[in-house]
C-alpha cells in the first residue's frame, strides 16, 4: 500500500512540516502548534495524500508533541514518536551539518522513508481522563487561592456581609468540586493495575501523599514508555539552562521552565516535605547547603533528583528506598589499604554526584 511520509519538527509555538509531492519534491508548511493548527494540518495532509496511508514521524518533545500526536492518531494517521537521540544519530549518519527547524522536518521525513517504523501507542483513555481531571483541579485550586485572597482583603477593609457570603459560598463549592474530581481520578487509577501499582510506588516516598501522587501520575502516565529520566527532567522544565552573551553577560545557570508546569507544580510540595521527613533527601539537601547553595537552588535540585528516583522505582517496580537517594562519602576505614580506601571513596563520590 502506498504511503505519504511526513516529517514534523515540533516546537512550543509552531510545527514545521515536510512531505514529498507526486514528483518527489519536498514541500513544506508551517502551522501553529495548537488545536486549530492541528485540524488544519490534518485536512491538508489528507488532501495531499489522495487516499494514501499517511505515516508521520516527529520527535518525542514531551509536552509540546503529545497533543499533536493524539490529534494525528485520532485522524487515522500512522504516527511514530522517535527518540531525539535516534534522530540525532540519523542526522549525523546522513551527513547533515546544519540544524534548523526546516531542515529538521526534512530529516524526520527521510527518517520516515528509510528507517524501521515503530508505531506510537496512544495513552489509554483512562490516562487521558486522569490528566484532564487533574488539570481541571489545578485550575480550580488557582481560583480558590484567588477567592481566599479576596476574602482576606474583604476582612481587612470591612467588606459587606453579602460579599463575604458570596466569596465563602464560591470557595465551598469549588472545594467540593475538587474533592469529587480527585475521588474520580483515584477511582480510575485503582481500576488500572499498572496505574494502581505506580500509585503505591509513589506513596512509598515520604513526602508524596495521595493528592500529589494523583497529580504526578497523571502527567507521567501519558509519556512514551522509553523516555529516560533525563528526558523526564527536561519535560518538566527542571533542566539547567545557561545564559551567556559575549563577554559582558554571564548569568548563573537556572532551570529552563520550558516544559510541563503541571508536573513541576506537583513535585514542589513533595520535595519540601521529603527534605524534612526522608533522611536520604535531608542528607542530600544538607550537602548542597554546605556547598553554599541557596534555598531555592536546593529545592529545585531535590525536585529534579526526586523525579530521577520516581523513574527508577517505576522501572524496577520496587518501593522507594531513601538510602539510595544520596550516599554519603565514606571515610577511609582504619586498617584497610590505601588503594581500597581510595576505591571506596571514589565509588561513594560517583554515587552521590
119 found inside a domain: no
Do 238 and 318 share a domain, yes or no? yes
pLDDT band at 341 (very low <50, low <70, confident <90, very high): very low
- In the block, cell 507521567 appears at 220
Do 82 and 149 share a domain, yes or no? no
339 found inside a domain: no
Backbone angles phi, psi at 15, to 5 degrees: -120, 125
40 found inside a domain: yes
Do 109 and 130 share a domain, yes or no? no
Do 163 and 65 share a domain, yes or no? no
- Which of 114, 148, 177 marks a domain boundary? 114
**Model pLDDT for residues 195-249, shown as the tens digit of each residue:** 999 999 999 999 999 999 999 999 999 887 878 898 889 888 887 654 444 444 4
Do 60 and 139 share a domain, yes or no? no
Residue 74 has which C-alpha cell?
Answer: 485520532
Q: Is the pLDDT of residue 99 over 50?
A: yes
Backbone angles phi, psi at 335, to 5 degrees: 95, -10
341 found inside a domain: no
- Which of 172, 191, 210 marks a domain boundary? 191
Beta-carbon contacts of 198 under 8 Å, excluding residues fewer than 6 positions away, are: 217, 220, 221, 314
Give the per-residue pLDDT at 135.
94
- Which of 86, 114, 142 marks a domain boundary? 114
Q: Is the pLDDT of residue 339 over 50?
A: no
Give the per-residue pLDDT at 255.
56
346 found inside a domain: no
Q: Name the domain count of the chain.
A: 3
User: What CA–CA distance (Å, rounded) separates 78 from 120?
Assistant: 8
196 found inside a domain: no
204 found inside a domain: no
Do 25 and 61 share a domain, yes or no? yes
Do 77 and 136 share a domain, yes or no? no
Backbone angles phi, psi at 188, to 5 degrees: -65, -40
Do 90 and 165 share a domain, yes or no? no
184 found inside a domain: yes
3-state percent breakdown (helix, strand, coil) of the chain, nearest 5: 60, 15, 25
Do 81 and 155 share a domain, yes or no? no
Do 14 and 110 share a domain, yes or no? yes
- Residues paired with residue 30 on neighbouring β-strands, in sequence order: 16
- Residues paired with residue 318 on neighbouring β-strands, in sequence order: none
**Model pLDDT for residues 306-324, shown as the tens digit of each residue:** 999 999 999 999 999 998 8
pLDDT band at 60 (very low <50, low <70, confident <90, very high): low
Provide the domain limits for residue 282: 229-324
Do 145 and 247 share a domain, yes or no? no
Do 110 and 139 share a domain, yes or no? no
Average pLDDT, the chain: 84
Beta-carbon contacts of 247 under 8 Å, excluding residues fewer than 6 positions away, are: none
For residue 16, give the CATH number of its domain.
Answer: 3.30.420.40
Amino acid at each position: 500500500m502506498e504511503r505519504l511520509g511526513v516529517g514534523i519538527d515540533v516546537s512550543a509555538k509552531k510545527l514545521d512540516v515536510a512531505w514529498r509531492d507526486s514528483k518527489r519534491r519536498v514541500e513544506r508548511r508551517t502551522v501553529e502548534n495548537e488545536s486549530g493548527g492541528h485540524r488544519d494540518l490534518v485536512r491538508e495532509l489528507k488532501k495531499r495524500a489522495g487516499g494514501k496511508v499517511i505515516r508521520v514521524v516527529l520527535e518525542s518533545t514531551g509536552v509540546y508533541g503529545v497533543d499533536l500526536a493524539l490529534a494525528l492518531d485520532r485522524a487515522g494517521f500512522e504516527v511514530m514518536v522517535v527518540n531525539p537521540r535516534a534522530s540525532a544519530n540519523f542526522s549525523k549518519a546522513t551527513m547533515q551539518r546544519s540544524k534548523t527547524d526546516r531542515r529538521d522536518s526534512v530529516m524526520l521525513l527521510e527518517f520516515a522513508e528509510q528507517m524501521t517504523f515503530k508505531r506510537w501507542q496512544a495513552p489509554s483513555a483512562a490516562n487521558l481522563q486522569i490528566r484532564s481531571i487533574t488539570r481541571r483541579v489545578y485550575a480550580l485550586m488557582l481560583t480558590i487561592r484567588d477567592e481566599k485572597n479576596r476574602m482576606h482583603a474583604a476582612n481587612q477593609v470591612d467588606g459587606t456581609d453579602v460579599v463575604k457570603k458570596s466569596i465563602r459560598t464560591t470557595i465551598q463549592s469549588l472545594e467540593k468540586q475538587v474533592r469529587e474530581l480527585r475521588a474520580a481520578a483515584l477511582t480510575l487509577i485503582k481500576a488500572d493495575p499498572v496505574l494502581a501499582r505506580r500509585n503505591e510506588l509513589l506513596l512509598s516516598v515520604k513526602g508524596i501523599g495521595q493528592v500529589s501522587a494523583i497529580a504526578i501520575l497523571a502527567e507521567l502516565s501519558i509519556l512514551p514508555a522509553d523516555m529516560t529520566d533525563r528526558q523526564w527532567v527536561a519535560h518538566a522544565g527542571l533542566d539547567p539552562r545557561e545564559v551567556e552573551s559575549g563577554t559582558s553577560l554571564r548569568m548563573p545557570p537556572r532551570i529552563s521552565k520550558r516544559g510541563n508546569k503541571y508536573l513541576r507544580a506537583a513535585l514542589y510540595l513533595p520535595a519540601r516535605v521529603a527534605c524534612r521527613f526522608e533522611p536520604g533527601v535531608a542528607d542530600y539537601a544538607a550537602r548542597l547547603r554546605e556547598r553554599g547553595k541557596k534555598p531555592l537552588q536546593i529545592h529545585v535540585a531535590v525536585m529534579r533528583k526526586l523525579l530521577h528516583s520516581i523513574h527508577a522505582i517505576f522501572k524496577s517496580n520496587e518501593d522507594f528506598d531513601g538510602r539510595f537517594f544520596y550516599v554519603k562519602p565514606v571515610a577511609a576505614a582504619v586498617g584497610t589499604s590505601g588503594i581500597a580506601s581510595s576505591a571506596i571513596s571514589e565509588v561513594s563520590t560517583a554515587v552521590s554526584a
